[in-house]
Structure 1
Amino acid sequence: MLAETICCAVSAAGLGIAAVTAYRKRFLAATRITAYSLVPVGLVLTGMVEWVSGMVFEPTVWIGFGLLGLAWVLFMTTRAVERRGPGRAGKAPKVAGADPGREAVAPDASVPSLGTGDRRNAGSAPAAAPEDDFSDIEAILKKHGI
């Protein structure tokens, strides 16, 4: 009963503010304020306020929320211990040249080879020498006068 009265008072105050705003020739803002002020009355008439106030003032509901929070904390604690624990069972093997702080995405996969050929031209001419690779860049730089 008290929650419904408060909602109606808030709506009446909002409609008063909307009337003052409309008097100041700010009709768009007044319409928006009117829409917001009608929401609490709509919630009262649909019975939503009674349902929420009945839920908020029930001690068993708060105990339920507390148990849900405790379960969440336990889940997060076990995940943190699992991630940082020293004795993990399924630890990935070290890969040569990998960062010591990072694990491999696919630990059983082989290390990729650094071939000299191009995949598109695998059967054609061998790859150019490293000096020839920079000739393109040098030509571009000379073209721009650098």
Structure 2
Amino acid sequence: MIAETVCSAVSAAGLGIGVVTAYRRRFHAAARIVAYSLVPVGLVMTGVVGWLADTAFSPTAWAGFGVLGAAWLLFAGTRAVERRRAGTGPERKAARGRRQEAVTPAGSAPALGQETRPAARPAAAPGNSGSGDDFSDIEAILKKHGI
């Protein structure tokens, strides 16, 4: 009875705020406020609020939640034990050894060959500091990438 009264009061307050918002010509926001304020009344009319109130104050319902929690803990605990046991067996160690063998030792070598640094350019002549140096850098980069 109290839950239904509280939901009705919340809905009435929401409808009042919606009317004030519509009066200020914010119709989109007013429609959204009215929609939210109708939800508690709808829950009361469908009986959801009464069911929730009966469940919240029922010792049997709380005992049922406790039993469900204990069942969940048992499932989680047995699963953890299964995982731990599967990690220490000889089959697991053999699978781990096969996995390490699959990696090639040369897998981390550069794909373009053994050279990791580009070859050093000869120093430019002092009187030759034109725009040719800019293009030689670009050409070196393109040659490095095979373009």
- Per the shorter chain, which TM-score range? 0.5 to 0.7
Q: Output one character per residue of 1:86-135: Cα deviation in whole Å (capped at 9) or x when no partner.
A: 89668435154534xxxxxxxxxxx88x9xxxxxxxxxxxxxxxxxx969
Equivalent AA in structure 2 for residue 10 of structure 1: V
2:33: which partner in 1? 33
1:64: which partner in 2? 64
Residue pair 1:82, 1:88 contacting (<8 A) in 2 also: no
SS at match of 1:25: coil
Equivalent AA in structure 2 for residue 30 of structure 1: A
Hey, which bits of structure 1, 4+ residues long, moved more than 4 A? 86-90
1:12: which partner in 2? 12
1:74: which partner in 2? 74
Equivalent AA in structure 2 for residue 77 of structure 1: G
Q: Output one character per residue of 1:28-65: Cα deviation in whole Å (capped at 9) or x when no partner.
A: 01001101101111111222211221122111001000
SS at match of 1:94: helix
SS at match of 2:25: coil
Gap change, CA 1:68 and 1:21, over 3 Å in 2: same
Q: TM-score, normalised by structure 2?
A: 0.63
2:53: which partner in 1? 53
Q: TM-score, normalised by structure 1?
A: 0.63
CA RMSD of aligned residues (A): 3.5
State the distance in 2 between where 1:25 and 1:73 align.
54
In the alignment, structure 1 segments of 5+ residues that lack a partner are 100-110, 115-132, 136-140
Gap change, CA 1:44 and 1:87, over 3 Å in 2: closer
Is 1:144 paired with 2:142? yes
Aligned residue pairs, count: 116
Equivalent AA in structure 2 for residue 40 of structure 1: P
SS at match of 2:94: coil
Gap change, CA 1:69 and 1:10, over 3 Å in 2: same
* Larger gyration radius, structure 1 or structure 2: 2
Gap change, CA 1:17 and 1:90, over 3 Å in 2: farther
Is 1:98 paired with 2:99? yes
Q: Which has more helix, going by share of residues?
A: 2
Equivalent AA in structure 2 for residue 98 of structure 1: R
